Each structure stands twice: as structure tokens, then as C-alpha cells.
């Protein structure tokens, strides 16, 4: 034992010394060191011959549109744009690692600005203060920092809404929803259950396992989780909003295993809809492209059910330049070019997304085929019905964590571990913690 101690002791002392030495050095600059770099404007003629790195993730159909636009930009400015496509799940950690290593990309496509807010280049300095007004108020607010500067261009919009299997509705003899007079939650669920009973589908209703999708229902019942003032959750309204979903899963009219079997991970229910296992599916406009290609039945986008409010819940993607870009002026010019009216038309028609620009929202966008056009018109109408506050909720730094917690709480209720009332109170406590954490 003494021999063992004599061998172990130097090892432990050695390791501790090295650890202490390492501990003495902070692993990076302190927060006070991170001063923003001053912006400089450059003559566009100076861009010729320069190279720009654009880190991108693709939902599929948008890639071609992006490549076409990049080719135009390269030709116009005589520059080279390196398009680096990353998997969506790896994007944040990969870009953070590159920023840490001093190898920041010039431009990035993001689904959320939360992780990079302090690193993004204010575009107003290069594109002009009026640039932000080219975008709709909601997306613009989500892309604006505390100083009122636009730190990203909202490049496309998504909105949540249900899809219906028209063939099943017709087979069951149940009336289709009226786009001009949206149904209520009761009407939608009654119709869905009637179709299920008449056609024998396994489920009446399906939705993606996502806090973002659940936020649609919260919004319709007049509450959100977070906003500029912090925790905005009204637990009584949330309980009322979510009890039909919990009941549906308990009755197995909505796939319960689907919700419980994947932990805290996101899971899309698009396959359940595509196999004809449910007449109603709550998701969003990004599904349109694949439904046009893959659905073996007639389907349609339907208006969101109304409760206290109507409309869906917004999402979308952003294009942003980094302060640490080696060519900030070129990066800002690229963001501006890619989000001009002409470029955004090319992009949203290829991606099956909704425009974020005021002019395009007003004039409308012509999509490739009648089916897509009909569905996108429904989503566009839903966008107009969506409460403005939902945009700032979606852009809030605490939203993503709150959405994950919402899914966890609903899962606990579905698993019978707590009642909905307790779950909503626990959610509210967790939101308080997340809001406090993001303000630190």
C-alpha cells in the first residue's frame, strides 16, 4: 500500500499542478475585452477579386435558388463566393468553433440569431438605415438589436398552419374548412374525429413534436412564453390551450408514442400525414414542396383554428454578416443583394417560403405550380392574421430553451407524471430562469 501511495502521489500532484496552471489562464478573452470593431464603408469597385465565405444550411429545394443567385452576384461584382453547406444540426457549434478559432465565415444563414447576436455586423452602417424598412415589421423586429440596428436580413418567412387530407374529408362527407371564415379548435377537432371515425385512419390529428408548433396554439389562446418584458406566459390560458392536445394523445387520437418515444428531440409528423394516417396535420409552409412531390392523395393547406386570436406562429431564416468578417463591406453588400426584391423572389419561389419584404408581401409572389400557389396563398393569409407579438417571441433569446421545456412538460403530462396545471406552473418557473440567464 505504501508503494502504491508513493506511485500515485507524484501522479496526482503532477496532474493537479498542470490543472492549476491551466486554471490560472482564462480560456478566452473576458467579456469586457469583446469590443465591437468599427465599421468602414468601401467602394464596391474595390470588391473585384475578393473571396467571400457563405456558411449555409439547406432545406432542400432552396439550394438551387441560392446557387443561381450566387452566380449572379459573382458575375456582377467579379468576386468568388464559397458556399459551404453544413448540416442544420451542426451549424451553430461549427460556426461558434470557427469564431473561437479566428476563422469566422463572412456570411451565415441562421434559423435563430440568439447564439450570435453580439457577433453580427450591424447592416445599417453599410446598407443604409432605410434598408431595415424594406422588411415587414415582425421579421424586422426579430432581426434588430437593442440599439435599433438591423443585424441580419430576414431572408424568408415560415408560418405554422394545418394541412388536411382532402380525399379523406370528401370520403367522410365532412365539409372542408372555409379559408375566409376560419374554424375554431372545437370545430377542427370535431371534423377531424368525424373523418377518423368514417375512414378508419389510426389518428384524427397529428402535429410535429415541437415547442414552436405548440406555441401556435398558445398564441391562438392569447398567450406567449416570452417577450421583451420577459416571461409572458399566462398559465391559465396555456392550460386551456393545451388541454385538447393532451386529451387527444391520452385517447390515442393523436400519436402518443410519437411524442414520448423521442425524448427531448424534435420530430416531424410529416410521414404520418403522407401515409394517410391522419386527416389533419399541424405543421407549416416548408412542407408544401415535399407534399407537392410525394403526396399520393389530394391535400390542402387550411386556415389555423381561431380561439381568442387567429393566425399561426412565425418562424424563418436570416442572413447575417459577422463583425469578424475579413470583408465586412462585401459581406453586407452580399446580404443586401441576396435580399433584394428580385433575389428574394427567386429564393422564396425555389424554397416554397414566404417573402419577408414589404413590397413582395404586398404584390404577392408567383410560385411554380397551381397547387403550391394555392397552399402558399393560405399561408400568406395566415401571416396577416398572426399577432405581431409572436414575431418578437420567436426572436427572443429565451424562446428556444422555453420551447424545449414546453415539449418536456407536455411529455410529462402525457406520460401521466404530472397534471397540466402543475406542468404549466413548472414551465413558468423554468421560463423565469431562462429569461434571467439570457439577461446575464
Partner 1 sequence: MTTVAIPLALNRRKRAPWGLRLAPYLFLFPNMLIFGMFTVWPALNGFNMSLYASSNGRTFKPVGLGNYTTILTDAQFWSVARNTVVYAIAFVVLSTVLGIGLAVLIEAQKRFKVFFRSVFFIPVLISPVVVGLVWGWMLERKSGAVNTWLSWIGIGEVPWLVDNTWAMVSVVAVGIWMQVGFYMLILLAGLQAIDPTLYEAARMDGASAWTQFRSITLPMLQPSIVVVVVLATIHGFQSFDFIYTLTGGGPVGATMLIVQYIYENGFQSPIRYGIASAGGVLLFLVVFVITIINWLISRKREAV
Per CB under 8 A, residues contacting partner 1 are 4, 18-19, 22-23, 25-31, 33-34, 92-93, 96-97, 99-100, 112, 114-116, 118-119, 256-257, 260-265, 397-398, 400-401, 404, 408, 411-412, 415, 417, 434, 437-438, 440
HEC profile of 321-376? EECCCCCHHHHHHHHHHHCCHHHHHHHHHHHCCECCEHHHHHHCCCCCCHHHHHHH
CB nearer partner 1, residue 149 or residue 438: 438
Least distance from partner 1 to the Cβ atom of residue 92, Å: 8
CB nearer partner 1, residue 199 or residue 404: 404
Least distance from partner 1 to the Cβ atom of residue 279, Å: 19
CB nearer partner 1, residue 112 or residue 144: 112
CB nearer partner 1, residue 102 or residue 173: 102
Q: Please check whether residue 210 is in contact with residue 403, taking contact to mean a CB–CB distance below 8 angstroms.
A: yes
Least distance from partner 1 to the Cβ atom of residue 248, Å: 16
- In 41-193, DSSP assigns E strands to 51-56, 80-85, 107-110, 153-165
State how far the alpha carbon of 329 is from the alpha carbons of 35, 50, 122, 326, in Å: 19, 11, 11, 9
Least distance from partner 1 to the Cβ atom of residue 206, Å: 14
CB nearer partner 1, residue 82 or residue 96: 96
Least distance from partner 1 to the Cβ atom of residue 263, Å: 2
> Residue holding cell 443561381?
68
Q: Please check whether residue 312 is in contact with residue 304, taking contact to mean a CB–CB distance below 8 angstroms.
A: yes
Give 25's contacts (C-beta < 8 A, 6+ positions apart).
none
- Here the cell at position 201 is 385512419
DSSP string, 42-81: --GGGGTT-EEEEEE---STHHHHHHHHHHHHHHHHT-EE
CB nearer partner 1, residue 241 or residue 398: 398
| CA separation for the pair 312, 226 (Å, rounded) | 16
Least distance from partner 1 to the Cβ atom of residue 29, Å: 6
CB nearer partner 1, residue 89 or residue 364: 89
Least distance from partner 1 to the Cβ atom of residue 281, Å: 18
Least distance from partner 1 to the Cβ atom of residue 104, Å: 10
CB atoms within 10 A of CB 341: 13
Three-state SS for 111?
A: coil
| CA separation for the pair 41, 52 (Å, rounded) | 16
CB nearer partner 1, residue 261 or residue 368: 261
Q: Which residues of 219-230 are buried (b: 16+ CB within 10 A; e: fewer)?
A: bbbebbbbbeeb
CB atoms within 10 A of CB 271: 12
Least distance from partner 1 to the Cβ atom of residue 26, Å: 5
CB nearer partner 1, residue 158 or residue 304: 158
Residue of 122, 119, 144 lying closest to 133 (CA atoms):
144
Amino acid at each position: 500500500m505504501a508503494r502504491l501511495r508513493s506511485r500515485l502521489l507524484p501522479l496526482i500532484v503532477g496532474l493537479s499542478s498542470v490543472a492549476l496552471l491551466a486554471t490560472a489562464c482564462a480560456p478566452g478573452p473576458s467579456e469586457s475585452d469583446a469590443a465591437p470593431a468599427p465599421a468602414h464603408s468601401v467602394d464596391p469597385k474595390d470588391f473585384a477579386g475578393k473571396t467571400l465565405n457563405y456558411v449555409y444550411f439547406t432545406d432542400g429545394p432552396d439550394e438551387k435558388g441560392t446557387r443561381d443567385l450566387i452566380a449572379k452576384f459573382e458575375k456582377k461584382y467579379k468576386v468568388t463566393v464559397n458556399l459551404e453547406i453544413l448540416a442544420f444540426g451542426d451549424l451553430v457549434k461549427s460556426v461558434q468553433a470557427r469564431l473561437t478559432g479566428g476563422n469566422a465565415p463572412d456570411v451565415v444563414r441562421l434559423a435563430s440569431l440568439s447564439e450570435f447576436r453580439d457577433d453580427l455586423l450591424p447592416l445599417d452602417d453599410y446598407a443604409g438605415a432605410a434598408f431595415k424598412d424594406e422588411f415587414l415589421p415582425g421579421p424586422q423586429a426579430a432581426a434588430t438589436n437593442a440599439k435599433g440596428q438591423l443585424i441580419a436580413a430576414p431572408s424568408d418567412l415560415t408560418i405554422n398552419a394545418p394541412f388536411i387530407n382532402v380525399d379523406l374529408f370528401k370520403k367522410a362527407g365532412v365539409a372542408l374548412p372555409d379559408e375566409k371564415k376560419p374554424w375554431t379548435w372545437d370545430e377542427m377537432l370535431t371534423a377531424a374525429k368525424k373523418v377518423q371515425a368514417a375512414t378508419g385512419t389510426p389518428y384524427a390529428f397529428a402535429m410535429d413534436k415541437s415547442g414552436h408548433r405548440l406555441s401556435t396554439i398558445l398564441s391562438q389562446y392569447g398567450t406567449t412564453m416570452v417577450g421583451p418584458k420577459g416571461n409572458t406566459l399566462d398559465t391559465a390560458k396555456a392550460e386551456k390551450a393545451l388541454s385538447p392536445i393532451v386529451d387527444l394523445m391520452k385517447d390515442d387520437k393523436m400519436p402518443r408514442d410519437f411524442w414520448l418515444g423521442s425524448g427531448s428531440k424534435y420530430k416531424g409528423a410529416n410521414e404520418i400525414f403522407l401515409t394517410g394516417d391522419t386527416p389533419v396535420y399541424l405543421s407549416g409552409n416548408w412542407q408544401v414542396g415535399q407534399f407537392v412531390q410525394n403526396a399520393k392523395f389530394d391535400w390542402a393547406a387550411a386556415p389555423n383554428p381561431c380561439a381568442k386570436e387567429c393566425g399561426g406562429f412565425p418562424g424563418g431564416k436570416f442572413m447575417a454578416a459577422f463583425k469578424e468578417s475579413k470583408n465586412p463591406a462585401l459581406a453586407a453588400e452580399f446580404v443586401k443583394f441576396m435580399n433584394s426584391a428580385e433575389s428574394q423572389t427567386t429564393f422564396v419561389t425555389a424554397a416554397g417560403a414566404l417573402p419577408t419584404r414589404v413590397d413582395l408581401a404586398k404584390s404577392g409572389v408567383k410560385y411554380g405550380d397551381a397547387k403550391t400557389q394555392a397552399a402558399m396563398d393560405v399561408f400568406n393569409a395566415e401571416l396577416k392574421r398572426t399577432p405581431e407579438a409572436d414575431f418578437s417571441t420567436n426572436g427572443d433569446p429565451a424562446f428556444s430553451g422555453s420551447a424545449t421545456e414546453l415539449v418536456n412538460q407536455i411529455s410529462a403530462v402525457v406520460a401521466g407524471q404530472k397534471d397540466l396545471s402543475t406542468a404549466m406552473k413548472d414551465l413558468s418557473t423554468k421560463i423565469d430562469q431562462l429569461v434571467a440567464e439570457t439577461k446575464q
